[in-house]
């Protein structure tokens, strides 16, 4: 069972990883002439996931019972109040580009923290969860930002 300090450390580590990704992607967007989007993405990095420190999200993170109902409520609260989640917009296709970019920064942070593949998540896990295919417009937008953020562009999975 994690202590409050350990839980805070986990949250802040994730937020800092996302912030670093937002700074990098934002800078690269600015250098590509997308100054407003880059600036706003950098700003979003400084407030990313702050809701985890309050209300039902914090209550869930400090609940050691594993209450599935509390988890459901906390996840719903998180996705409804943070625009980098497709659920906030009623689906991934409705997301503005700024929040798609932040979502990629979030996904890259999570992949690094878990030791998993960002590319595999985008092409398989997220595609299934958010109902898109690798030949649709939303996939192209996602890969566009991932390719700018990552040092090596995505290659087709074998």
Confidence at residue 63, expressed as pLDDT on a 0 to 100 scale:
83
In a domain, 28, yes or no: yes
In a domain, 155, yes or no: no
Q: 58 is in which domain, residue-wise?
A: 4-149
Q: Render 56-84 in DSSP notation, one character per residue.
A: HHHHHHT--S--HHHHHHHHHHHHHH-TT
The one-character DSSP state at 156 is -
Over the stretch 57-109, which tens digit does the pLDDT of each residue have? 999 988 878 889 999 999 999 999 999 999 999 999 999 999 999 999 999 99
If one counts the domains in the chain, the total is 1
Rounded Cα distance, 118 and 80, in Å: 24
Q: Hunting for tokens 């890259």 — which residue is that?
A: 108
pLDDT, the chain, mean = 94
Dihedral angle sign, alpha carbons of residues 47, 16, 116, 28: positive
Over the stretch 139-152, which tens digit does the pLDDT of each residue have? 999 999 999 999 87
Q: What is the pTM of this model?
A: 0.93
Rounded Cα distance, 9 and 38, in Å: 27
Over the stretch 26-66, which tens digit does the pLDDT of each residue have? 999 999 999 999 999 999 999 999 999 999 999 998 887 88
């Amino acid at each position: 069972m994690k202590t409050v300090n350990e839980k805070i450390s986990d949250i802040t580590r994730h937020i800092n990883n996302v912030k670093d990704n937002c700074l990098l992607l934002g800078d690269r967007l600015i250098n590509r002439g997308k100054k407003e989007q880059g600036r706003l993405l950098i700003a979003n990095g400084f407030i990313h996931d702050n809701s985890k420190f309050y209300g039902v999200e914090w209550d869930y993170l400090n609940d050691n019972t594993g209450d599935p109902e509390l988890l459901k409520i906390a996840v719903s609260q998180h996705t409804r109040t943070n625009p980098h989640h497709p659920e906030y917009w009623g689906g991934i296709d409705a997301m503005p580009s700024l929040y798609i970019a932040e979502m990629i920064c979030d996904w890259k942070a999570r992949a690094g923290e878990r030791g998993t593949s960002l590319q595999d998540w985008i092409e398989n896990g997220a595609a299934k969860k958010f109902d898109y295919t690798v030949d649709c417009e939303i996939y192209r937008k996602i890969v566009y930002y991932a390719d700018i953020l990552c040092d090596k562009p995505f290659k087709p999975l074998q």
